[in-house]
Structure 1
Amino acid sequence: MRLTVLGSTGSIGTQTLAVAHERGWSVGTLAAGRNLDLLAEQIRTFTPEVVSVDASVYVAARALFPHHTVIADVAEAASRPADVVVNAMSGLIGLEPTRAALLAGRAVALATKEAMVTAAHLIWDAAAQGGGRVVPVDSEHTGVYQCLTGEHMEDVAEVILTASGGPFRDGPPDLRGVTPEQALKHPSWAMGPKITIDSSTLMNKGLEVMECASLYGLPMAQVGVVIHPQSLVHAAVRFRDGSLKAQFGPTDMRLPIAYAIDAAPTGMTRPGDVRGARRGPEVAGHLGWPLRGEWEFREPDLERFPCLALAYRAGEAAGLLPVALNAADEVAVDAFLAGQIGYLDIPRVIEQVLDETPGGDLTWDTLRDTDRWARARTRELTGVTA
C-alpha cells in the first residue's frame, strides 16, 4: 500500500503514519503545513518523494529538504499517484485537496468532516467525475460503515451515533457561568481547544450527524444520537426488522484509521455505496481487549445543549445553512475561549446567523461567499475584530 498523507503532523496524521510504519506501508507524499521539525522526523522515517508545506515556510523547507521535491500546493500533493490519500486536514482548507484527489481518481480516507458537512454534493460530484472513492476515518462513521457492510441501505431504519457527553453531561444544570477552563476539561479525551469546546456543547456530535447523513444518503431524522459515557460503542445501525448491529471496541483511533485505509480502494463512489474490506493484521495488540464492564446510554438533552438541535436544523435545511453553521461555530468558539462572550452565547449567536443566512444553491463560489459572510457576521455579533 502506498499512501499520501495530508495533515501529516496533526493528531490523525501522526497516528496514520504510526499505522503505516506498523503495517510496512510506504508513503510517497506528505503534506504538513508549517511544522518543519516534526516533518523532518517523518521524512527520515518514510523518505517520501514529495513534500508539501505552507507557503510561509516554503523557502525554509527547500533548504532543509534539498533531496526531496518540495511544493506549496496541497491540492497538487493530493492528486499525485497513491493507493490511498489520507486527508487529515481540519477546516475548510481540506476541501480543495479532497476535491483534487477525487477528480484525479484517488481513493480518499477522509478525516475532514467539513467536506461532508458543508460541501457534500460537490464532493460526491467530484468523485463521480474523476472516479475517486471515499471512506470515512472518524471512528463513528467508520463504525457505521462496518455495520452497513453486507446490508442494503433500504433496510436501514436508523443510524445511531454515540457521544461521550462532554464535561457537562452530569451537570451543572445551569451552564450560564461556564468558563473556558471548565469547558476544556473533557472527562475522556485530550483534544484541541476547538473540538473540546464543540464536544462540551454537543456541536461536534451535531456536525457528525450532518456528516453521517451526507456519507450514507440518509435524511437527518434517520440519524440519532445517544450519550454513552464509556465511549466503547462507536456506532450502531437499526434495521427495519428491528434488529441492531453495533461496532464497538477499544478507543484507539489507529483501529478506524487502519480499517479506512484498507477499505478505501474499494470504497464509496456515491452516498451509501458501502462495500467493506478485508481486514489487515492486529492493530496495537488489541486482540486481547476484554469485553467487560457496564455500558450506559442516555438521551441527549437538547434544552441544555441547543447546538445539537441547531445542527439538525441546518442539516435538514441543507443549501447554505451548513456552511453558515460551521463558520459561525468556529468564530463563536474562538470568542468564548478569548473571554469575549459567555458559554450560552455560542448557540445564541449561531442561531441568529442561521436566521439571517441568505438562500441560494450550494456551489464552490457560494460556499466560499457564505463562509466569509457568516464569519464576518458572527464577528459583528460577538464584538470580535477580524
Structure 2
Amino acid sequence: MKNISILGVTGSIGTQALDVIRDAENEVRLVGVTAHRNFEKLVDIIEEFKPKYIGVTDSDCFGKVKEYCEKANMNCELYSGEEALEKIATLEEVDTVLTSVVGIAGLKPTIKAIRAKKNIALANKETLVVAGDIVMSEAKENGVEILPVDSEHGAIFQCLQGNESKDVNKIILTASGGPFRGRKRDELKTITPSQALKHPKWNMGRKISIDSSTLVNKGLEVIEAHFLFGVDYENIEVIVHPQSIVHSMVEYVDNSIIAQLGSTDMRLPIQYALCYPERNRAVAHSLSFKEASTLTFEEPDMDTFRCLKLAYEAGKMGGNMPAIYNGANEIAVELFLDEKISYLQIEEIIESSMKEFEFVEKPTLDQVLDIDRRVREYVLKKYVK
C-alpha cells in the first residue's frame, strides 16, 4: 500500500485525487491533508477518509476544525499556519506527497518533503518555475522522484517511458487556447473575471483558469517542462489543440512522434502519478474516437497573448527571472479577480516587473522568496491606488 499526504486537499486537484483514492481499492491510503479555509469541505473529507494528520493554514478555520475534532473525538493530530504545510509534507509514514496548493506557497513544503526523502506528485507548477534548479538538485541529491500531475507534463512523462532522454528531439506542449482563442487585442480590453473563468474544456480553480485564458499557464508549463525533462527552450514547442484530446507529444531524433491521448479528466494524470509505476483500472472515462473524430492544431497567437512570449523570455534568461514573472502574475491575477485592474494589465504588470528588478543568475532559496515579496510590493504600490 502507498501512503500519501495531500497539500491543498479541498482544491480542484485535491478533490479529484480523492476520487482516485476511492477507486484504488485500498492500494492508496490518505495519511495527512492540509486545507486553507474551506471548513465544510474539509470536515466531509475528515469524516470519510479519517486522516491521522490534519493541517489548516487559516487561523479561524483551524479553530473550527479543532473544535469539531474534539467534539467528534477524532483520533488525529492538528497543525496550524505555515507549519501545517511543512508538517504534513514530511510525515514519517508518508511515501508520496501530492502538492496541489496554489502558487509559490507550495515551494517551501515541497523542498522540505524532498529533504525528508518523499516522492513528489507535483501539481504546483510554480515550485519548479521559481526554483527549478534548486528543486531538481535537491531531488537528485535525495534520490526523490518528481512525478508530474499536470495533464501536459503527465502526458510527456508517459511518452518518455521506455526511451532515453538523449533521443528526444523536442517536446510539444498542447494548449486548448483558453476561452478567448481567436480574439484580437482590441477584443480583450473589456474582458471581465467571470468571462475569463469560463474555460471551454477543463474544470479548474480560479487562479489557473485566469492563467489559462492569458496563456500564462502554458508559459509556466514551458518553464516547468524545461526543468522536469532537461530540454532546452528552443526544443519546447507550444501548439494550440482546441479539442484537448492530445495532451502532449514527444518528437524523437528519428522524427517519430509519440502522443498521449485521453479524455479531459485530470484524474487520469493524478492516478498515474499516485500509482506509478503501476497502472490502475480506469477512473477517467474512455475516449471515444467516434465522438472525437476531428483533431486540429494551430500556432499560438503570441502577439495577442504576449504572456506566453514573456514566459519564454523569462525562462531563457533563467536565474531569478522566472520567479519575477511568476510573482508578478500571481499578484496581477489577484488584482484582476478583485476587479482592481483590467485584463490586459496582467500582461503589462508582468512585463513591467521583468524590466524593474535586477537579474540574479543563481539565486538562493531566500533570494527567490525575497524577490517574490518585492515584486508583489512593487505591483501593489504602482497599480493599486
The equivalent of 2:88 in structure 1 is 77
Offset from partner CA, 1:226-256 (integer Å, 9 cap, x none): 1111000000011111110000111111111
| Counterpart mapping for 1:52-131 below 5 A | 52-54=55-57, 56=59, 57-66=61-70, 67-72=75-80, 73-80=84-91, 81-131=93-143
Distance 1:173 1:49 in 2: 51
Residue identity in the other structure for 1:352: S
The equivalent of 1:315 in structure 2 is 315
The equivalent of 2:359 in structure 1 is 359
Shift of 1:55: 5.0
Contact 1:106/1:131 (CA < 8 Å) preserved in 2? no
**Pairing partner for 1:214 from 223, 227, 231:** 227
Residue identity in the other structure for 2:299: E
In the alignment, does 2:241 pair up with 1:228? yes
Contact 2:263/2:284 (CA < 8 Å) preserved in 1? no
> Structure 2: 5+ residue runs without aligned partners?
none
In the alignment, does 2:375 pair up with 1:374? yes
Distance 2:12 2:313 in 1: 30
Q: Residues 172 and 201 of structure 1: is their aligned pair in 2 closer, same or farther, counting only changes over 3 Å?
A: same
Which sits farther off after the overlay, 236-245 or 31-40?
Answer: 31-40
Offset from partner CA, 1:273-316 (integer Å, 9 cap, x none): xxxx2311222453777574100100011111110000000001
In the alignment, does 2:250 pair up with 1:237? yes
Q: Secondary structure of 1:339's partner?
A: coil
Distance 2:30 2:197 in 1: 35
Distance 1:288 1:200 in 2: 27
Residue identity in the other structure for 1:141: H
Contact 1:349/1:381 (CA < 8 Å) preserved in 2? no
Shift of 1:218: 1.3
**Pairing partner for 1:193 from 192, 203, 206:** 206
Residue identity in the other structure for 2:147: V
Shift of 1:113: 0.6
Q: Secondary structure of 2:270's partner?
A: helix
Distance 1:123 1:14 in 2: 26
The equivalent of 1:134 in structure 2 is 146
Offset from partner CA, 1:38-65 (integer Å, 9 cap, x none): 1221122112211111250333322211
The equivalent of 1:255 in structure 2 is 268
Distance 1:260 1:37 in 2: 28
Contact 1:104/1:131 (CA < 8 Å) preserved in 2? no
Shift of 1:176: 4.7
Shift of 1:342: 2.8
Distance 2:341 2:54 in 1: 40
Contact 2:244/2:264 (CA < 8 Å) preserved in 1? yes
Shift of 1:129: 3.6
Shift of 1:338: 3.4
Distance 1:378 1:230 in 2: 36
Contact 2:325/2:354 (CA < 8 Å) preserved in 1? yes
Distance 1:38 1:289 in 2: 36
Q: Secondary structure of 2:279's partner?
A: coil
Distance 2:21 2:195 in 1: 36
Shift of 1:258: 0.5
Q: CA RMSD in A?
A: 1.8
Offset from partner CA, 1:71-95 (integer Å, 9 cap, x none): 1221111111212211111111111
Contact 1:159/1:222 (CA < 8 Å) preserved in 2? yes
Contact 2:178/2:215 (CA < 8 Å) preserved in 1? yes
Q: Residues 247 and 2 of structure 1: is their aligned pair in 2 closer, same or farther, counting only changes over 3 Å?
A: same
Normalising by the residue count of structure 1, what TM-score does the alignment of the two structures yield? 0.91
Question: Number of residues paired by the alignment?
Answer: 371
Contact 1:86/1:111 (CA < 8 Å) preserved in 2? yes
Residue identity in the other structure for 1:153: S
Q: Secondary structure of 1:65's partner?
A: helix
Residue identity in the other structure for 1:94: G
Shift of 1:362: 1.4
Offset from partner CA, 1:154-207 (integer Å, 9 cap, x none): 111110111111122122452352321433333223433322222121111101
Q: Residues 312 and 172 of structure 1: is their aligned pair in 2 closer, same or farther, counting only changes over 3 Å?
A: closer
Normalising by the residue count of structure 2, what TM-score does the alignment of the two structures yield? 0.91
Q: Residues 70 and 259 of structure 1: is their aligned pair in 2 closer, same or farther, counting only changes over 3 Å?
A: same
Q: Residues 340 and 42 of structure 1: is their aligned pair in 2 closer, same or farther, counting only changes over 3 Å?
A: closer
In the alignment, does 2:195 pair up with 1:182? yes
Contact 1:161/1:236 (CA < 8 Å) preserved in 2? yes
Distance 1:16 1:8 in 2: 8
Residue identity in the other structure for 2:22: H
The equivalent of 2:348 in structure 1 is 348
Distance 2:263 2:145 in 1: 27
